[in-house]
Amino acid sequence: MFDIKEKTMTPTENLKRLGLTLPNLSPPAGSYVHATRSGNLLFLAGKGAGKYTGKVGKDVSLEQAREYACSTTLMLLAAIQNEIGTIDKVKQFLKISGFINSAPDFSDHPKVMDACSNLLKEIFGERGVHARTSIGVAATPSQIPVEIEAIIEIKE
């Protein structure tokens, strides 16, 4: 939990405090962009990042999927920084959608996405708290275990 000093830290400072860095953002893998802006809303394309492939609950453990979700969260933050220059301009994470490439009998999708949600709260404080969808899917691009997309509000 944040102490008084940490509540006043910026998201960029919190990243450093956690020993995290944002990854390099590769060009989109298809006919889309990383982010689209409408007024003060930023819609982030689905991202996946990490070293695992396969189905969660079969080829990928719950802990590996959670690690993957955290790596993907950092990729989303890299997309924000690429689009608006800094993650410090995030006013509020509004909605996160997580698509878990899972075995048919896997049902811990929310536990996978909790890794993303908890990391956002650790970096952004209350601004990282969001509505969320966590669903299992039959397949994802390149058989990545987790794909996450987001809608955020940015400061003007």
Q: What pLDDT shows up at residue 5?
A: 47
pTM score, whole prediction: 0.93
For residue 12, being part of any structural domain is answered with yes
Residue 22: both structure tokens together: 């944002």
Asked if residue 1 has pLDDT above 70, the reply is no
Sign of CA pseudo-dihedral 136, 139, 142, 143: positive
Burial 29-65 (b: 16+ CB within 10 A, else e): eeeeebbeeeeeebebbbbbbbebebbbbeebeeebb
Asked if residue 134 has pLDDT above 50, the reply is yes
Q: In this predicted model, what pLDDT tens digit does every residue of 33-77 receive, in sequence order? A: 999 999 999 999 999 987 889 999 999 999 999 999 999 999 999
- Domain of residue 66: give its range: 4-21+32-154
For residue 27, being part of any structural domain is answered with no
Q: What is the CATH number for 130?
A: 3.30.1330.40
For residue 55, being part of any structural domain is answered with yes
For residue 45, being part of any structural domain is answered with yes
For residue 41, being part of any structural domain is answered with yes
Q: How far apart are CA 78 and CA 151, in angstroms?
A: 14
Q: In this predicted model, what pLDDT tens digit does every residue of 89-104 receive, in sequence order? A: 999 999 999 999 999 9
Q: What pLDDT shows up at residue 13?
A: 97
The number of distinct structural domains making up the chain is: 1
**Burial of 90: CB neighbours in 10 Å, binned 0-12, 13-18, 19+:** buried
For residue 17, being part of any structural domain is answered with yes
